[in-house]
Amino acid sequence: MKYKAKIKQQNSTKASLLVILIIAIVVPLYYTLDTYFTKGESPSLGWLNSIFKTFVFTAIISTVLYTASIGTTKLLEKVLPWQKYGRKRFFTELVVVALVTILLSSAVGQIWYNYVEACENPTPIVFKVVIISLIVTTIVTAIYEAVYLLSQWNAALINTEKLKKENLQSQFDSLKNQVNPHFLFNSLNTLATIIPEDSDQAVQFVQKLSSVYRYLLQYKDNETVDLKTELDCIDAYFFLQQIRFGDNLHVHVNIPPSYYTKQIPPLTLQILVENAIKHNIISLQKPLTVEIYVDDAQMLVTRNNLQKKKSVESSTKIGLQNLMNRFEYIYGQGIDIFETETDFIVKVPLG
């Protein structure tokens, strides 16, 4: 990453020097052609000396103005980024760059024509320098911003496509996770155990199992669902897991009804609960407690007591990083993950 940043900085420096060099050459060249064709003057030592001075002056003022203008645009990008303050940024940059150009070109012009050229009345020449500087600076700044915005747009497109792909992969992996042999085996094994003992509970188990599958198939292509729908699914999922683990698994869901219409990516809670069940010991001596609630910052919180397994079953590649990518893609905000000595906590934003 540092190497790439260094290369980028070197390329930026080369581009800056190239711009300054081009301006420093073009202005004296224009002066030469104007003198030769308009005034009909032939080259002389004094004439060449004048061209050299023009070259030096142009190089100095170009360096000063280019550095100041680009520095101004970079500062404004931090204070008023294009993505958030488009129109305000445009007019602010126009005014600030113009003021900076007028002040600096006037200062450099006055110093040069008073102390180097020793002009008796430098004001008209300095005025002309200011006008030319404004035109050139506006063009250079416009080109710089156009290139920057184009690169940002291209990077955003690439990132969007990448996140879309990850989102689709997450949905596909979620589907595979639900129909993997372990899940089916555990569910069917539990069902086979309770059928002889409690047929009513077996019927309820099948209904809850079908609810989980129905939710998956119905909403797997949705970006978000309302929180109430997600909670209904996780309620069915918890039922299946509590039949399997009995009193070794404790679940506490405390969500005010006012949050039911909030939006959340489908299967968020199931992924978090699966993560807790998969990575922690669940036994009579060490029961697992999972809590789901909304905190003071209106974040949806999933908390479980931490009692890590020494070995974990093979991953299905639906991890917290994948979930974080989905939230960043949909809301522009990731998830917060905390691990203490006693608890594992995940906070997700609600739409």
Q: How far is 274 from 105, CA to CA, in rounded Å?
A: 65
pLDDT score of 171: 59
Q: How far is 337 from 315, CA to CA, in rounded Å?
A: 19
Angle at 84 between CA 82 and CA 90, to 5 degrees: 40
Angle at 165 between CA 163 and CA 168, to 5 degrees: 110
pLDDT score of 132: 83
Q: Say whether pLDDT at 338 is over 80.
A: yes
- The residue with tokens 């940002």 is 152
pLDDT one-digit tens code per residue, 272-282: 998 898 889 99
pTM above 0.85, yes or no: no
pLDDT score of 248: 93
Highest mean pLDDT among 3-12, 102-111, 147-156: 102-111
Q: Copy the structure tokens of residue 139.
A: 């063009």
In terms of Cα–Cα distance, which of 257, 261, 281, 266 is closest to 222? Answer: 266
How does DSSP assign 14-36, residue by residue? HHHHHHHHHHHHHHHHHHHHHII
Residue predicted with more confidence, 224 or 196:
224
Q: Say whether pLDDT at 316 is over 80.
A: no
pLDDT score of 215: 86
Residue predicted with more confidence, 265 or 6:
265
pLDDT band at 244 (very low <50, low <70, confident <90, very high): confident
Q: How far is 319 from 271, CA to CA, in rounded Å?
A: 8
pLDDT one-digit tens code per residue, 281-300: 999 899 999 999 999 889 99
Domains by residue range for the chain, with CATH: 2-163 (no CATH), 179-348 (3.30.565.10)
Q: How far is 107 from 146, CA to CA, in rounded Å?
A: 29
Q: Copy the structure tokens of residue 236.
A: 């069915």
Stretch 80-89: mean pLDDT, rounded?
81
Q: Name the β-bridge partners of 249.
A: 288
The distance in angstroms from the start CA to the end CA of the chain is 33
pLDDT band at 219 (very low <50, low <70, confident <90, very high): confident
pLDDT band at 17 (very low <50, low <70, confident <90, very high): low
pLDDT one-digit tens code per residue, 55-64: 777 778 878 8
pLDDT band at 32 (very low <50, low <70, confident <90, very high): low
Q: How many residues does the chain have?
A: 351
Q: How far is 281 from 302, CA to CA, in rounded Å?
A: 17
pLDDT band at 4 (very low <50, low <70, confident <90, very high): very low
pLDDT band at 172 (very low <50, low <70, confident <90, very high): low
Specify the amino acid at residue 213: Y
Q: How far is 127 from 110, CA to CA, in rounded Å?
A: 10
In terms of Cα–Cα distance, which of 304, 249, 275, 55 is closest to 177? Answer: 275
Q: How far is 111 from 107, CA to CA, in rounded Å?
A: 6
Q: How far is 187 from 128, CA to CA, in rounded Å?
A: 84
pLDDT band at 154 (very low <50, low <70, confident <90, very high): confident
Q: Copy the structure tokens of residue 69.
A: 């203008």
pLDDT score of 8: 43
Contact 214, 207 (CB under 8 A): no
pLDDT score of 174: 58
Residue predicted with more confidence, 138 or 55:
138
Q: How far is 78 from 81, CA to CA, in rounded Å?
A: 6
pLDDT score of 33: 54
pLDDT band at 307 (very low <50, low <70, confident <90, very high): very high
Specify the amino acid at residue 215: Y
Q: Say whether pLDDT at 250 is over 70.
A: yes
* Strands, sheet with 249-254, edge to edge from the N-terminal-most edge strand: 249-254, 288-294, 300-305, 343-348, 336-339
Q: Say whether pLDDT at 82 is over 60.
A: yes
Q: Copy the structure tokens of residue 204.
A: 């309820």
Q: How far is 351 from 225, CA to CA, in rounded Å?
A: 10
